[in-house]
Amino acid sequence: MTLPEPYRLAAFVLGALAFVGLNAAYLVWVERKGAARFQRRPGPTEVGPEGLLQPIADAIKLLSKQVIVPPGADALLFRLAPAVVMAPALMTFAVLPFGAHLTARPMSVGLLLAVAFGSINVMAILLGGWASRNKYAIISAARVVSQNVAYEIPLLLVVITLLMITGTLDLSEIVRQQAGGFWRWNVFKLWVNPLMPVTFVIFFICLLAETNRAPFDMAEAESELVAGAFTEYAGMGFGVFFMAEYANIVVGCALATALFLGGWQSPFGIGSGVGWFLLKLYLLIFTVVWIRWTFPRTQFYGLLNLSWKILIPISLGTLGLTSVLLKFIRP
């Protein structure tokens, strides 16, 4: 079934917007419920059954609040920053392969697009933090940059390792190569490189750091920096940053699913479809929430040491090992 191009495009744009909005709203609910359960309390219960209408109440509250630009702030950049943090995350949805035929714009360089637009995120948080004219916000912004620069390196090294195995940047093609059972997923391709599970773990750690999630949430270290780069944002300005954080988590977990866990492929080789993609996606997102409420925040130099002294050497090692194995073992 193929719609004419304009309608297909409109459907995908609307679908991506609705998907991001729904996810942002209900992942907050999942986060709060999850946090509550991990801490043995009920979580939101008042609004709707099981607190299911809580996100809607939150959204109405945020929308009705005034957006205040603090005096002395750079008003233009201050207002622009939430849009700049949201737009790249939305654009990445154009290349995510949800199903065999469910990609808005299959591109031969899809993975590169996701990585490139992902790198704009840092710039936006930086601008927001700087434009706020707030000491806490500037400290947080400086932390975000050193963190993101440090973790982009192992992330890209791991992605290069994977690219040498797949030989393509097309996300749909990468998923197609993993057809036929869970032992053909990239994370279990032990005959190509016995360290594949390690690369997946590195990818996941870098994902947590790049999306500024606990235990790496140096950007919004609420116990030490008030709310970090978002301190001065009120109302929907803060809301958009919040939505962008969840949109980035969805994008990151979708990439992990497509790259390592076989995307829409079924683990048993039959019955592949969008359902499997969503199942793996939400399992990964749940893991992200789980980690956030289980581990305390790391110290800042601990975080940088982890990247520069542990993750980068290991990912360089897997890169070397993979290239050697690919050269000598496979014809």
Partner 1 sequence: MNTFPGAAWILAGVFALSGMLTVGGALLAVTSQRVIRSVSGLALGSVGLAGLYYFLHSPFLALMEILIYIGAVCVTIVFAVMLAEPDEPPPEKPRPRARLETAVALLVSLAAGGALAWLGLHTRWPVARARTGDGSLRSLGVELLSTYCLAFELISLVLLLAILGALVLARHGRTPPPAS
Query: For partner 1, which is the closer residue by CB, 44 or 237?
Result: 237
The rounded distance, in Å, linking the Cα atoms of 216 and 299 is 9
**Minimal distance in Å, beta carbon 62 to partner 1?**
26
Query: For partner 1, which is the closer residue by CB, 287 or 305?
Result: 305
* 73 scored as a contact of partner 1 (CB under 8 A): no
Query: For partner 1, which is the closer residue by CB, 28 or 138?
Result: 138
Considering only residues 137 through 196, tell me which ones interact with partner 1, judged by CB under 8 A.
138, 141-142, 145-146, 148-149, 152, 169
Centre a 10 Å sphere on the Cβ of residue 312 and count the other Cβ atoms it contains.
Answer: 17
Residue type, 187: V
Query: For partner 1, which is the closer residue by CB, 146 or 298?
Result: 146
What is the x/- site pattern for partner 1, positions 84-123, by CB under 8 A? -----------------------xxx--xx-xxx-xx-xx
**Minimal distance in Å, beta carbon 130 to partner 1?**
6
The rounded distance, in Å, linking the Cα atoms of 183 and 269 is 10
Query: For partner 1, which is the closer residue by CB, 229 or 250?
Result: 229
Query: For partner 1, which is the closer residue by CB, 114 or 240?
Result: 114
Backbone angles phi, psi at 214, to 5 degrees: -60, 145
Query: For partner 1, which is the closer residue by CB, 92 or 315?
Result: 92
Maximum C-alpha span of the chain: 66
As given in the structure block, the two tokens for residue 18 are 């609705």
Centre a 10 Å sphere on the Cβ of residue 283 and count the other Cβ atoms it contains.
Answer: 12
Q: Which of 13, 47, 48, 74 binds partner 1 (CB under 8 A)?
A: 74
Cα 99 to Cα 15, 248, 272, 274, distances in angstroms: 14, 20, 9, 5
The rounded distance, in Å, linking the Cα atoms of 295 and 264 is 30
**Minimal distance in Å, beta carbon 183 to partner 1?**
29
**Minimal distance in Å, beta carbon 105 to partner 1?**
11
Closest CA to 307 of 93, 146, 191: 146
**Minimal distance in Å, beta carbon 311 to partner 1?**
19
Cβ distance 263 to 97 under 8 Å? yes
Sign of the CA dihedral running 257, 31, 213, 94: positive
Closest CA to 91 of 114, 108, 112, 125: 114
Give the interface with partner 1 as residue ranges (CB under 8 A): 4-6, 74, 77, 107-109, 112-113, 115-117, 119-120, 122-123, 126-127, 130-131, 135, 138, 141-142, 145-146, 148-149, 152, 169
